[in-house]
Structure 1
Amino acid sequence: MKSEPRRPLARGPRLVALGIAAICQRAYLTLWRQPILLISTMLFPLVYLLVLGNALNRQLVQLPLAVVDEAGNALSAECRRGVLALQTGRDLVHATFSADRASALEDLRRGRFRGVWVLPFGLSPAGPVPAFIGDNTDRFSYDVLESALGQIWAEASGAGKNIAPAAKLEAFPYVDYLTYLSPAIVCLAIFMGSMVSGGLQVIEDRMFGYHEGYLVTPISTGTLVAGHILAGGIVASFAGALVLLGVLLLTPLPVTFASIGAGLLTVFLTSLSIASLWFLLFARAQRTSVLRGMFGIINVILFFPAGALYPVESYPKWLRMISDVNPLTYGLRALRDLLLRGADPMSCLPELLFLLTFALVCGVLTQVLFRREV
């Protein structure tokens, strides 16, 4: 009795879905067997938030300042009292009163002082006026001291007594730098998670021959690419969602259920776009050493130009061009609108559409490169 010939499996939607699910399942199992890698991926952004956020969020205190009073009149005495108020009230400066300008300037050059404030002989509102000589190698301390001493002089000389203060209104509740940094930390978790699942995993699969094993089955190249991108996006989304939960516990973000839901959608689309970018960049890589060598460069190119630490409006034109095509820029912008400003989720639709389009374009380009190699 002759057996009927076996019919080849048709590459229909069901087979594509099964192939993608199989690739995703293997990616999850592989990563779950490496818990240290997963834990470090999620802990790194939180440690980054706690250390960097608190380091940059603190006010400057006890800046060493030398005050040289050469005038010895009532106006210079008023200036000295203002400096003492800075020291005892705000704890901004640690003042040393010196009578020798030359020795104070020499100590400034040696790094003992951050600034020298000279109250010259004949000090008066009409002139001569105080001279501030600061250590401009540290612009933060220099600008803070210059502003504080300028305010003391304005009050002591009467220059600011008859000027009404300008109206100052804030559109949102107070946001400290630690809270401002929170959406960027979520994006950093996405970046790290997609690097592991969308970059490292792809290279290791190629090294150990899993891709060739997939391609001798009815799974197509497009299914293989889509499966890897989706797996990387879901794993990175998981890391980003957990870090988002940690951020909500650590910072006073004004969130609602709608903003959290839209934030999770933003996390997923950002993860998908970054995972597809990692796959595109390393679609033809043969060794994990390539990723290790390029990781630092890619981190600098993607994370910092996205406006993670400072607004993109301060960037030069060439850096703004990188920011305009960076998917992290759009994910970070949407998360800040949702979590910090409480924006309507529909207002973030342009950013979400860009992330989805970016992921699709990278997926198509990856399939072309992948075909040439395999």
Structure 2
Amino acid sequence: MKLQRILAIVERDMRKFFRSPALMMMSMIFPLMQLIVLGYAFGGKIMGVKIAVVDKDHTSASRDVRQRFDAVAAGPRTLKVEDYSSLSDAVVDLRTGFVRAVVYIPPDYSRRVNQGNRPRIAFIEDNTDNFVTNEVLSRMQSLVQDINRGLNPFQPGQRLTVPTPRLQPLIDLQVVELYPYIEYIKYLLAGSISMSIFIVAMIGGGITFIDDKSRGLHEGYLVTPIKKSELILGLIFSGAIKGLMAGTTITIIGGLIAGIDRLWDPVRLLYLGVVLGCTSLGMISFMFLIMVRVSDPLVPRAAFGVLNTRSRSSAARP
């Protein structure tokens, strides 16, 4: 064993690496992008979250609540308050993602405060994003606690030396979830179906195309009357069929395990087949669009490893 021969192999392999910019980007740039995206998406401070405030009371008591929101918006800048005159319009914007929560002050809020009849404030949250919603809810709870301390100036354990009027009851913050509760296994089923189709798109689409090109099979095909467009379309359709088979299998078995209602409904199965077919065709076509100019067989494998690591990091999100 000679060092000169080992160095020759090292030099040859390093030249192959530097002659493949796509492989260098996959191994160096993509992990850095993953660090930036995941680091700022799942961590850091939440700022500028839009919430809708629907004030149906229009009194000094409700204006006090509104002023406290303005103080948070001007200070920590966690919230960005939007005034709405209709609760239905605010809920529609909450469903479409224009706002992240709705605070509803009912028309009898000030009357209940004055009568000591347990005043209530409704907090409607988008329970599909717990990370942002929990932060907004904690801020809302701290605001309600500040208001309650103003209504009840005496702290627990304090002795009253003079007769005082009856203390006001605490404000009740009612949390309303926008969507009904969904079991986590049902919530995860859609991601598992997409992952199965994506794996087929990676293995049966891009990697197969690159491997066939590196082995010279494409030249053998093109000797026959088959055109290059026919070759690409054939591989796309075969990959879409395999993706549809994988998605259908995961859907049926996963639906039975998760206990999906009306799984065998013919109309639902028809819609499901159309969605799975379009998803498979879209992922396979997208993978061919990315890999059509790639000649190094290591590039799709590096891309597959980066994307697989990203999916596991997203699944480990608290």
Scaled by the length of structure 1, what TM-score is found? 0.37
